[in-house]
Chains A and B, each alone.
Chain A
Amino acid sequence: MNTERRNLAWRRISKNSGPFLIFGLVVLAFVGLPLYSSEAATQFNVYNALQSSAALGLLALAIGISMIAGEFDLSTVGVYALGGMLAVKFGVDSPVLGVLIALGAGMVVGLIQGGIIAKLGISSVPVTLGGYIALLGLTSVISSGDSIAFENLDAGLWLEQEMFTWFSPRSLIMLAVFAAVGGLLYWTRTGRDLRAVGGDRRASRAAGVRTDRILVGTFVATAMISALAGALLSYSIASANPDPGGAPLVFAVTAALLGGVTLAGGRGTALGVLAGVLALSLLQEIFVIVATPDYVSNLVLGGLLVIVIAFDAPHLRDRLTSVRARMKDRPESARVSARFK
Chain B
Amino acid sequence: MNAPAGVETVAEPAAGVTGSPRASRVRRLLLIGLQGLVAAAAVLAVVAAATTQGFFSVGNLQAILSSVGFVGIVAVGMTVIMISGSFVSMSLGTQAAVSAIFFVWALKFGVAPAILMTLVLGLLTGALQGYVIGGFGANPIVLTIAAVAVLEGLVVVFSSGGTVTPPDGAYTFLNSTVAGLPVSFYVLIGVVVIGEFIMRRTNFGKRVYMVGDNREAAWSSGFRMGQIGAGVFGLAGVTAAIAGVLLGAYNQGASLLLTGSLTYDAIAATLVGGTLVAGGKGSVWKTLAGAIVIAAITDLLLLRGYSSGVQILVKGLLVIVVVIVVHLRSQGTR
Contact = CB atoms under 8 A, between A and B. Distances in A.
A310 interface: yes
Contacts of B127: none
Interface stretch (A1-9, A96-104, A227-235, A291-299): A291-299
Contacts of B13: 202
A132 interface: yes
Interface stretch (A36-44, A48-56, A115-123, A157-165): A115-123
Interface residues of A, number: 60
Given A134-B320, A295-B153, A302-B148, A316 B313 contact: no
A66 to B, nearest CB: 12
Interface string A28-69: 000000000000000000000000000000000000000000
B316 A133 contact: yes
Interface string A133-172: 1111111111111000000000000000000000000000
A134 B316 CA distance: 4
B324 A306 contact: no
B149 A298 contact: yes
A132 B268 CA distance: 11
A139 B316 CA distance: 12
Contact of B149 (A122, A242, A301): A301
A126 B282 CA distance: 15
B87 A125 contact: yes
B143 A306 contact: yes
A336 interface: no
A202 B307 CA distance: 45
Contact of B316 (A130, A144, A296, A301): A130
A330 interface: no
A133 B310 CA distance: 11
B142 A305 contact: yes
Interface string A256-291: 010000010000000000000000000000000000
Contact of B320 (A127, A253, A301, A310): A127
Interface residues of B, number: 59
B138 A127 contact: no
Given A145-B307, A263-B139, A120 B132 contact: no
Contacts of A314: 136-137
Name the residue in B142, B264, B271, B311 with the highest tally of chain A Cβ atoms < 10 Å from its Cβ. Answer: B142
A11 interface: no
Contacts of A131: 316, 320
A246 interface: yes
Interface string B138-159: 1101110111111111101100
B136 A120 contact: no
Given A134-B320, A295-B161, 15 more contacts: A116-B320, A123-B87, A123-B278, A127-B320, A137-B311, A137-B313, A140-B309, A145-B307, A293-B156, A296-B153, A298-B152, A302-B152, A305-B145, A310-B132, A316-B138
Interface of B: 13-17, 27, 30, 87-88, 90, 132, 135-139, 141-143, 145-154, 156-157, 161, 220, 222, 225, 264, 267-268, 271, 277-278, 307-320, 323-324, 327-328
30 contacts: A120-B327, A122-B16, A122-B323, A125-B87, A125-B88, A126-B271, A127-B323, A129-B267, A131-B316, A131-B320, A133-B319, A134-B316, A134-B319, A145-B309, A201-B15, A249-B145, A254-B146, A263-B142, A294-B156, A295-B161, A298-B156, A299-B154, A302-B147, A302-B153, A305-B142, A306-B143, A309-B143, A313-B139, A314-B137, A341-B222
